[in-house]
Amino acid sequence: MRIAICDDEQYICNTIEKFLSTYTPAYDITSNVFYDGEDLLCYCIEHNVFDVAFLDIEMPTLNGIEVAKRLLQINEKCIIIFITSHATYISDAFRLAAFQFLLKPINPDDFHQDFKRAIQRYNNLHAKYVVKWRDKITCLVHKDILFIEVNRKHLFIYTKTQIYECTGKITDEEARLYNFGFVRCHQSYLVNLLHIKTIEKDFVVLADGSEVRMSRQMRNKVFDAFLRQNTGPST
């Protein structure tokens, strides 16, 4: 896991590096420290992209919001965690679909709680979903799956570009995909929370415009899961 730390205050960078050292033995973590947003972006252009970025919102020359926008253009999978001294920037951060924000001074418990969630998100974004149909085996990335439909013991896996078919039970897939951000929204449908744009009365609207049916009994479950996905656990 490649991590960027960008803050114009050295002690903040040192603090995050210290916290990250706890995870180094268990995870293949490499980190790079930057004190300026432009230096970070120049590094990304010349070298590899980052999987996680800790970004100070208030920086000279280029603020963290602008840096995050450019990072996501380079790598849409990048997990953005903002660092700020002022809660007034939080709305801007979440408008950009940031993963989380940390208030200065950084509380160790908050950091570890959010970074463990970031690890889970990273695993979800890079894990593979295997589809077996007759003599063909296809590996999909979980994040590319929009939703799954069941019809007479056949599963149909919908992505932006293709529909894949296999046999199975929707209940088995629900258990299999629970930790990857999927939620059951109907007796016949399992939807990827990453792609939900709007939750309506009887269906959910995905970012690509697709509409997936949702039962009344499962609406609260979907709504709660969607909130947890986008705001993190409550404290």
Confidence of residue 60 (pLDDT cuts 50, 70, 90): confident
- pLDDT tens column, 93-121: 555 556 788 889 999 999 999 999 999 88
pLDDT at position 84 is: 86
Residue with tokens 């939750």, as numbered in its chain: 199
Q: Which of 78, 55, 79, 75 is nearest to 66 (CA)?
A: 55
Crossing angle of helices 37-46 and 64-74, in 10° steps, is 10
Q: Which of 132, 161, 165, 126 is nearest to 148 (CA)?
A: 165
pLDDT at position 125 is: 79
Residue 77: Cβ within 10 Å count: 15
d(CA 5, CA 125): 21
- pLDDT tens column, 34-43: 999 999 999 9
Q: Tokens at residue 125, please?
A: 């974004």
- Residue type at 127? A
pLDDT at position 234 is: 41
- pLDDT tens column, 196-221: 999 999 999 999 999 999 999 999 99
- What sign does the dihedral 92-94-97-103 (CA atoms) show? positive
Residue with tokens 């997990």, as numbered in its chain: 79
pLDDT above 60 (res 130): yes
pLDDT at position 232 is: 52
d(CA 159, CA 133): 16
Residue 200: Cβ within 10 Å count: 10
